[in-house]
Structure 1
Amino acid sequence: MPDTTVAAVPNQGETVTVSAYLATRLCQLDGHHVFGLPGDFSLSMLDEMLTVPGVEWVGCTNELNAAYAADAYARARRGVAAVLTTYGVGELSAMNGVAGSYAEDVPVVLVSGMPPSRARADGLLLHHTLVDGDHDHFVRAYREVTAAGAVLRAATAVAEIDRMLLTAINECKPVYLGIPADVAVARVPAANLALPLRRSPSDPTSVQQFRDALTALLAQHPSLTVLAGPRVHRRRLEGELAALADLPGVRIATQAGAKAMLDEAHPASLGTYMGGMTRSEITRDAVDFAPLLVLAGTTLSDVLTGLFTHRFTPEDAVELGFETARIGASLFHGVRMEDAVRILHETAAERDFAPLPPLPPLTRPEVAEGPASDALTQAQLWAEIQQWMPDGVTAIADAGTALYGALGLQMSHDSDLLAQPIWSSIGYTLPATLGICLARPESRSLLFIGDGAAQLTVQELATILHRGHTPIIVLINNAGYTIERAIQSPKAVYQDITPWDWSALPSVLAPGVPSLTSTVRTRAELAEALVEARECTDRLVLIEAVLDPSDAPEMLVELGRGAARANGAPSVPVEQAGRSTGDSSR
């Protein structure tokens, strides 16, 4: 966890404003960019925060997009991200994004600029309120989607800010800070800023007990299989996971929310596991029937388990959580995931398993047969992207055809896939691309998004363009919500969206800012556009890929069938759901 400031730490007797204190703490936790929109109750707070060196304001087009961008930023960094809104109308607009951060374990700090303390105490009927004298409606609402929250008073602001930020980094969950306008400019002691915030350490006794129990368990088994989930990614333990994979007798699979956390070309990599939707039977059997299975930072939600089609018994597995480890019925409280993964590596190395037979290479999407001039299919789209995709990219895939196509890719070295499979809020990824561009300027971002999802949040494309970022965007134009078509009523009017001129959009949103756009309808056109995109590094690239509305990746077709059964809906015939002939992305 970063523990240094960019600004000089004040002397013992100095004071700073509450807002400056918060801004400095955010910088100490690697949250240098603050996303949001201004409002009258937050203007003084913003003015004070921006006096702190190292803090950069990222003005977004709406609060929901700001929350999405901050979420992605926090996923890509080692600290927190902040969303700053005004009271009521602003914070409510951000709530969906913050709820997604809660569901997917992302340490986002929602900062709400509130009416002055006296106005709150007197219950004045102000704008942005429900005009009933109760100013805490939204504070209470945020309790449902955050790990902790506080409305600051000057007397306790330092302690409360530190408490909220420690909660965020310890629990990897969002927190809420309401800051009345008068409190924002109140002066508080600065001395505490010399003491960087750190995650709570593990309990030494619990760590030793866990080590002893794990050593005894490993001695009883011939090999070790790990299913690694997104929470390992939240703790930035990719290096430790790779070190574990280097040991003999170890196999590692990842969940969809952690795809490519381990290099998928690694000899120990089993690829992505999703229960019955797993592409490889070898992968599925290796996890489901493992002699010893370790669930490291997993979330056993519906999508991540292939709609609960996993065949392993979670209670029989070793489980490593953020702050607790479990072996059978024994819970080891106070064992941080960082220490649990380290101990797993050390004990597995001491066990010295016999080497396992080599795994066959993971299946890669291949270009389906047929003339390159024929209408583009989902199978061809993902196969062409597989052959083209450069190393070292951060791919971002929106819920829908984009995600379930991207999950079929074999990710290249030093690449990453960002997705939101648990919350699955369509439109998340376009603002998330802004967050990733700011968090990882050294890595080119590659966004896969459907036209329906893009219409929700496309305004943030303007921010991306005006800030000079150069992602590659593959926009899948299938005239609506194909993920819903795959579940039920594919011909229903509500599955369609209004058509847009996507290739003209960048010039409309950012006149004078150069970009490269193209519309492709065949495999040959797509291949040419991808080559141009790779070579064009000085501007944003938008490739609109026009596809049949009924065409979908095979994995999405399977998900649709399963979701329809789970919802008690009539089954969608395969030809209506758009199963692609020759689709090899499964």
Structure 2
Amino acid sequence: MSDQTQSGTPSTATTVTVGQYLASRLVQLGAGHVFGLPGDFNLALLDEMVTVDGFHWEGTTNELNAAYAADGYARLRRGIGALVTTFGVGELSAINGVAGSFSEDVPVVQITGMPSTSARANGLHLHHTLIDGDYDHFFRAYREVTASATIVRAASATRDIDAALMTALRESKPVYLGIPADVAVAPVHAANLRNPLLAATSDAGELERFTEALAEAVAAHDRVTMLVGPQVHRASLEKVVRQIADHDGVYLASQNMAKAVLDESHRASLGTYMGAFTRVPEARAAVDDAELLVLAGTVMSDFLTGFFTQGFDEDAAIELGLTSARIADTTFYGVRLEDSLRALHRVLGRTPRAAVTPVGHPDAVAATAPVPGAALDQAHFWAAVQGWLQPGTTVIADAGTSFYGALDLVLPDESDLLGQPVWSAIGYTIPATLGACVAAPHRRSVLFVGDGAAQLTVQELATILHRGYTPVVFLLNNDGYTVERKIQSPAAVYQDITSWDWTLIPAAFGAADRVVTARATTQDELAAALTLARETVEKAVLIEVVLPKLDSPRLLTVLADAIAAAAARATQPEA
């Protein structure tokens, strides 16, 4: 596509192919890096997409990893991520990752290269099908885990593509586009590309009514407490939240998926709220007993509420959602989160309030001096990491030991925490780290991942290293599935995994010269490894940290106990 500009918008072309049109739209939306694998049914599509200026192909080692990478990319970009797979075998490999994006409100575009329109119409018994003539099995499966699923037709291709992308933007959910091989190369008008897709806007009348009701509700209170959830990140509204926190009279707590939405050193910060598992009792009380509680982009799931131990009345709170807002019994439909938060910022500025007294700021756990030869445990490891982390870090932590250890850290200013506590798929983070590195290449990522989780997706570390990215990877080797051991049957054979020599993995990937490795089994070895990681900036760093099999961080211990108790109750025979 020779007359394409860097923005993905053609300057003079009157027609483009469907593949070029889709790639151009992705570039315009800031999603020009697309992950995936080639397959014979998507080659025609890929050949068109790669001709678009600003489009970058990011090949991954499998389709599940491509979905995770696109998810991590979208989270760091605060926008859309995209992947391309082939029909059947490829898209089914990716569906778990896309389902996770749906669960956690991440707008990922799953693009499937399909057999030709005529093959579908005739029900040919092609490879990658179920040999029953029905080509829509997998399309129907994706309808269950996406906000929209469309098989693109040449006659309506530009409308089909634009409608799907607008749905992803509007609802912050994944969408599915199936593109037959003949449709991928079909010509379509390019005129629409001269007008970039616009974000959805609020209903003006509803927004005015909401703002009036909000002003009345806020004016009656000297203190306003906000509980901020992950949807604030999806809408890229961190700046507005920080402006709200700067008002006198405001406290702000975050759910664990939004831990870093406000620097934890800020006077208004209450830290991370998880109901009964909130680290500082005063912080929990400030939320549960708030004069006026505002729920902003929250998700009220088990792991985010401390297994539903929140002490506040959700119905009595003001609720600001992605596409609607509620005050008392009145719901204001069509009021988007970006506008309701800005309205709150304006309303808070109208009435003076007394400054808040910092409440519940947890002290960073101080590391004790390493004892030469002393074995490591979880408490010493996380305390040592606390003192090592630097401002401006993207902390990425896999489900289980890693995530709940990281949650108890007091993150340095201007840091992010990337995890997946709702879907909680182990292995998510290594490919998500690839996505994060592609999205923010000048920001260093620090990954914490367990040995069991890493065995699912570690091959994507090869992609990270060969692309020249330099994350620090802490491989927590606790010899199996410690979370499950804590919940039930710790000695069961299914809790075990095979033992790998983790520090040799980069060499097996042909990337030994791109990474520095270390293995820490004692406190002094960990101290040396942390010093090495801080001093090594031009290469990636992989540190294997050997920890006790049954040891776990504080927060995971109490959560596992709660899960175990609930599981025991569920399996008791009825009286």
- 1:110 matched residue in structure 2: 110
Instruction: Give the aligned residue type for 1:451.
Output: D
For the pair 1:302 / 2:302, whether they are aligned, the reply is yes
Q: Is the 8 A contact 2:8 2:52 kept in 1?
A: no
Could you say what secondary structure the match of 1:305 adopts? coil
- 2:87 matched residue in structure 1: 87
Judged with a 3 Å threshold, the aligned counterparts in structure 2 of structure 1 residues 267 and 511 are, in CA distance, closer, same or farther, namely closer
- 2:249 matched residue in structure 1: 249
- 1:320 matched residue in structure 2: 320
Q: Is the 8 A contact 2:256 2:272 kept in 1?
A: yes
For the pair 1:25 / 2:19, whether they are aligned, the reply is no
- 2:157 matched residue in structure 1: 157
After superposition, where does 1:311-350 map in structure 2 within 5 Å? Answer: 311-350=311-350
Q: Is the 8 A contact 2:166 2:197 kept in 1?
A: yes
Could you say what secondary structure the match of 1:517 adopts? strand
Q: Is the 8 A contact 1:5 1:27 kept in 2?
A: no
Judged with a 3 Å threshold, the aligned counterparts in structure 2 of structure 1 residues 466 and 370 are, in CA distance, closer, same or farther, namely closer
Q: Is the 8 A contact 1:11 1:191 kept in 2?
A: no
Instruction: Give the aligned residue type for 1:113.
Output: G
Q: Is the 8 A contact 1:249 1:353 kept in 2?
A: yes
- 1:580 matched residue in structure 2: none
Could you say what secondary structure the match of 1:177 adopts? strand
Distance, in Å, in 2 between the alignment partners of 1:361 and 1:281 is 10
Distance, in Å, in 2 between the alignment partners of 1:356 and 1:552 is 35
Judged with a 3 Å threshold, the aligned counterparts in structure 2 of structure 1 residues 409 and 13 are, in CA distance, closer, same or farther, namely closer
Deviation for aligned residue 1:459: 0.6
- 2:359 matched residue in structure 1: 359
Could you say what secondary structure the match of 2:349 adopts? helix
Q: Is the 8 A contact 1:87 1:115 kept in 2?
A: yes
Distance, in Å, in 1 between the alignment partners of 2:287 and 2:496 is 39
Distance, in Å, in 2 between the alignment partners of 1:510 and 1:342 is 50
Judged with a 3 Å threshold, the aligned counterparts in structure 2 of structure 1 residues 492 and 369 are, in CA distance, closer, same or farther, namely farther
- 1:469 matched residue in structure 2: 469
For the pair 1:192 / 2:170, whether they are aligned, the reply is no
Distance, in Å, in 2 between the alignment partners of 1:552 and 1:289 is 31
Deviation for aligned residue 1:367: 2.6
TM-score, with length taken from structure 2: 0.97
Deviation for aligned residue 1:371: 3.0
- 2:518 matched residue in structure 1: 518
CA offsets per residue over residues 264-289 of structure 1, 9 Å max, x none? 10011000001111100011111111
Deviation for aligned residue 1:6: 2.0
Instruction: Give the aligned residue type for 2:137.
Output: H
Could you say what secondary structure the match of 2:109 adopts? strand
Distance, in Å, in 2 between the alignment partners of 1:236 and 1:80 is 11
- 1:270 matched residue in structure 2: 270
Instruction: Give the aligned residue type for 1:217.
Output: A
Judged with a 3 Å threshold, the aligned counterparts in structure 2 of structure 1 residues 133 and 455 are, in CA distance, closer, same or farther, namely same
- 1:496 matched residue in structure 2: 496
- 1:147 matched residue in structure 2: 147
Unmatched tracts of structure 1, length 5 or more: 572-586
Instruction: Give the aligned residue type for 1:356.
Output: V
Could you say what secondary structure the match of 1:45 adopts? helix
Deviation for aligned residue 1:496: 1.1
- 1:576 matched residue in structure 2: none
Which stretch has the larger CA shift, 212-221 or 542-551? Answer: 212-221
Unmatched tracts of structure 2, length 5 or more: none
Q: Is the 8 A contact 1:35 1:82 kept in 2?
A: yes
Judged with a 3 Å threshold, the aligned counterparts in structure 2 of structure 1 residues 79 and 360 are, in CA distance, closer, same or farther, namely closer
Instruction: Give the aligned residue type for 2:343.
Output: I
For the pair 1:428 / 2:428, whether they are aligned, the reply is yes
Could you say what secondary structure the match of 2:188 adopts? strand
Instruction: Give the aligned residue type for 1:17.
Output: T
Deviation for aligned residue 1:13: 6.6
Q: Is the 8 A contact 1:17 1:185 kept in 2?
A: yes
Instruction: Give the aligned residue type for 1:285.
Output: A
For the pair 1:129 / 2:132, whether they are aligned, the reply is no
For the pair 1:216 / 2:223, whether they are aligned, the reply is no
Could you say what secondary structure the match of 2:565 adopts? helix
Distance, in Å, in 1 between the alignment partners of 2:364 and 2:504 is 34
Instruction: Give the aligned residue type for 1:314.
Output: E
For the pair 1:34 / 2:28, whether they are aligned, the reply is no
Which stretch has the larger CA shift, 185-194 or 199-208? Answer: 199-208
Distance, in Å, in 2 between the alignment partners of 1:146 and 1:184 is 22
Which stretch has the larger CA shift, 314-323 or 348-357? Answer: 348-357
Distance, in Å, in 1 between the alignment partners of 2:269 and 2:64 is 36
Deviation for aligned residue 1:79: 2.5
Distance, in Å, in 2 between the alignment partners of 1:240 and 1:170 is 19
Deviation for aligned residue 1:570: 9.8
Distance, in Å, in 1 between the alignment partners of 2:9 and 2:556 is 52
Q: Is the 8 A contact 1:368 1:379 kept in 2?
A: no
Which stretch has the larger CA shift, 559-568 or 243-252? Answer: 559-568
Judged with a 3 Å threshold, the aligned counterparts in structure 2 of structure 1 residues 7 and 326 are, in CA distance, closer, same or farther, namely closer
Q: Is the 8 A contact 2:283 2:360 kept in 1?
A: no
Judged with a 3 Å threshold, the aligned counterparts in structure 2 of structure 1 residues 569 and 375 are, in CA distance, closer, same or farther, namely farther
Distance, in Å, in 2 between the alignment partners of 1:25 and 1:242 is 31
Deviation for aligned residue 1:373: 2.8
- 2:454 matched residue in structure 1: 454
Distance, in Å, in 1 between the alignment partners of 2:138 and 2:191 is 32
TM-score, with length taken from structure 1: 0.95
Could you say what secondary structure the match of 1:350 adopts? coil
- 1:205 matched residue in structure 2: 205
Distance, in Å, in 2 between the alignment partners of 1:121 and 1:400 is 46
Could you say what secondary structure the match of 1:403 adopts? helix
In angstroms, what is the RMSD of aligned CA positions? 1.5
- 1:98 matched residue in structure 2: 98
Could you say what secondary structure the match of 1:351 adopts? coil
Q: Is the 8 A contact 2:232 2:238 kept in 1?
A: yes
- 2:54 matched residue in structure 1: 54
Distance, in Å, in 2 between the alignment partners of 1:360 and 1:569 is 33
Tell me how many residue pairs correspond in the alignment: 568
Which stretch has the larger CA shift, 106-115 or 353-362? Answer: 353-362
Q: Is the 8 A contact 1:227 1:295 kept in 2?
A: yes
Which stretch has the larger CA shift, 292-301 or 368-377? Answer: 368-377
CA offsets per residue over residues 176-208 of structure 1, 9 Å max, x none? 000000000000000000111012211111111
Which stretch has the larger CA shift, 106-115 or 561-570? Answer: 561-570
- 2:172 matched residue in structure 1: 172
